[in-house]
Structure 1
Amino acid sequence: MDMKKLMKQAQQMQSKMAKMQEELEDKTLESTAGGGAVKVVVNGKQELVDLQIDPDAVDPDDVEMLEDLILAAVNQAMREMQEMVNEEMGKVTGGMNLPGMP
């Protein structure tokens, strides 16, 4: 392989990865905990963009349970979003693990 061809392929991959990152930022993922008592939505930037709590899940005598449900839902959504990002990026990179990329 000559160097020019290799550089061109690298530039194309970089361009595809940038486009993929933009597209992923617009995606959202929903996760629930406690049988739907807590629902969260995260985006491709791994930001929490929505949180809904069923009023029946709010027990002033057991705030810790509600906190645990929120943490579980948020952490699950973040893991699933990271898996989605890794899967989509893997399609672009052909499975290569590139430094500095998610």
Structure 2
Amino acid sequence: MTDFSKILDKAKELENKMKESQEKIKSIKVEGISGSNSVKVTLNGEGEMIGIFISDDIMKEDKSVIEDLIVAAHNNAKEKLKSKTSEEISKVTGGFGIPGFKWPL
């Protein structure tokens, strides 16, 4: 019986750490960049775009170029967010992945 109690205690501990980790992830902000810093996109930890910067110089370009740069900056930010989220989860799980668990990014 004692072993089962220890397992439950560890599971509760992991659950608490995961909750803390999720709160930390929510506070993460990442910036994606494209076009030599001419377009910047900022995402929060939930993957929502919370900011965008487009330099005045780039506004002289064709609309399709600007659209491509925005997409590229967003994708860059998304990759950075995925990396930071994975780092945070690794801290909790001790570097071991949780089978079948995926973040919605």
TM-score (norm 2): 0.88
- Alignment CA distance shift 1:101-1:9 (3 Å): farther
Distance 1:48 1:32 in 2: 13
TM-score (norm 1): 0.90
Cα-to-partner distance string for 1:11-59 (whole Å, 9 max, x where unaligned)? 1011111111111111211121101110111111111100011121113
| Structure 2 residues without counterparts, runs of 5 or longer | none
- How many residue pairs get aligned? The number is 101
Structure 2 partner of 1:96: 96
Structure 1 partner of 2:74: 74
Q: Percent identity?
A: 33
| Structure 1 residues without counterparts, runs of 5 or longer | none
How is 1:14-93 mapped onto 2 (pairs within 5 angstroms)?
A: 14-59=15-60, 62-93=62-93
The CA RMSD over aligned residues, in Å, is: 1.5
- Alignment CA distance shift 1:101-1:4 (3 Å): farther
Note the C-alpha offset of 1:95. Answer: 2.1
